[in-house]
């Protein structure tokens, strides 16, 4: 495994980080607790020392399972990354910015963006309890909250860092303009954003800005929620409550399928899977600090970790880029 310093912090994160959205179950067609915990254990065994989660993932379930999985392990060897700012239980008392209606057990659950100082502190304490720890390595706002001044949110993070409950603070899904505003109050460690072979818009402004300011970039959805593994084109049936039924509709699936067929020989020549090739390509892109990869069982976790061992030549990287240009 490769380990990388995150921006201006002293945090050393595994280049491939365990992304714990899917094990929460909501929006992913459910979860299986034993397999999820096995996946976390396998990740740790294979050098993935960093785990990224959020209270919203499974409405607390993801954090609880991680807490159970790491219980008794050397906490100093694990980096826990979590978030705040998505409220679903009505504790915001009508404040905040409505985001969307989530579904659980057939019921609609209104989710709000809410990042007031009081709520940041409240959510942090709840996350510490669920994760079974007394500090978070990186605490991130989950989505921008237009109802709360950015300075207020950053002041809360600054306070938590002073108290030793948080080692570093970052943002997620922030624009460059929002990052600049946040930086007036607090030096940001990172921005967690969506990035993949099919979604490279951050290369235009966010990557240059982050490189200029020594801010880390944490990437989620590098495999576009499984689309770039190629499995969808062979086993295309998804559960009815799986959000990917709608998510995949934004892509020209025939073009994506043809692109994957073009680059698959590179993976096969290295006895690797398409998902490993995609993950490794992502870790090698300029400005990218670490890449999140989800796994719902031990086998997937091991495969993700092994992707870092894949060696790609400059010619192979150039070929992939040429195919991406054709993909448009």
Q: Which residues are catalytic?
A: 57
Place of tokens 């009505």: 90
Burial of 239 (0-12, 13-18, 19+ CB in 10 A): exposed
d(CA 152, CA 172): 16
What is the strand order of the sheet 97-104 is part of? 86-87, 107-113, 97-104
Give phi and psi for 116, each to the nearest 5.
-65, 160
d(CA 188, CA 192): 11
SS (H, E, C) 201-219: HHHCCHHHHHHHHCCEEEE
Per the DSSP assignment, residues forming a β-bridge with 191 are 171, 217
d(CA 321, CA 328): 11
For the chain, the C-alpha Rg in angstroms (whole number) is 19
Q: By three-state DSSP, how is residue 111 classified?
A: strand
d(CA 235, CA 191): 34
- Of 127, 193, 114, 113, nearest in space to 160 by CA: 127
């Amino acid at each position: 495994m490769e380990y990388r310093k995150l921006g201006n912090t002293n945090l050393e994160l595994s280049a491939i980080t365990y992304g714990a959205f899917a094990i929460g179950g909501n929006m992913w067609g459910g979860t299986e607790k034993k397999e999820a915990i096995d996946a976390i254990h396998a990740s740790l065994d294979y050098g993935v020392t960093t785990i990224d989660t959020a209270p919203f993932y499974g409405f607390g379930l993801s954090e609880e399972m991680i807490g159970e999985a790491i219980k008794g392990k050397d906490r100093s060897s694990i980096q826990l990354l979590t978030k705040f700012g998505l409220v679903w239980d009505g504790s915001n008392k009508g404040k905040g910015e409505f985001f969307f209606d989530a579904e659980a057990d057939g019921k609609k659950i209104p989710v709000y963006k809410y990042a007031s100082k009081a709520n940041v502190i409240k959510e942090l304490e709840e996350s510490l309890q669920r994760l079974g720890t007394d500090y978070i390595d990186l605490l991130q706002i989950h989505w921008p909250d237009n109802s709360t001044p950015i300075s207020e949110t950053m002041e809360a993070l600054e306070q938590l860092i002073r108290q030793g409950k948080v080692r570093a603070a970052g943002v997620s899904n922030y624009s460059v303009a929002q990052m600049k505003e946040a930086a007036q109050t607090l030096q940001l460690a990172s921005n967690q954003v969506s990035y993949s072979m099919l979604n490279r818009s951050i290369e235009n402004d966010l990557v240059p800005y982050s490189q200029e300011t020594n801010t880390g970039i944490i990437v989620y959805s590098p495999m576009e929620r499984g689309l770039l593994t190629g499995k969808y084109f062979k086993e295309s049936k998804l559960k009815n409550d799986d959000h990917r039924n709608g998510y995949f509709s934004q892509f020209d699936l025939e073009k994506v399928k043809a692109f994957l067929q073009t680059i698959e020989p590179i993976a096969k020549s290295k006895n690797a899977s398409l998902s490993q090739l995609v993950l490794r390509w992502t870790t090698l892109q300029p400005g990218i600090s670490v890449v999140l990869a989800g796994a719902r069982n031990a086998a997937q976790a091991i495969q993700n970790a092994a992707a870092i061992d894949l060696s790609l030549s400059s010619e192979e990287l150039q070929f992939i880029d040429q195919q991406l240009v054709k993909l448009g």
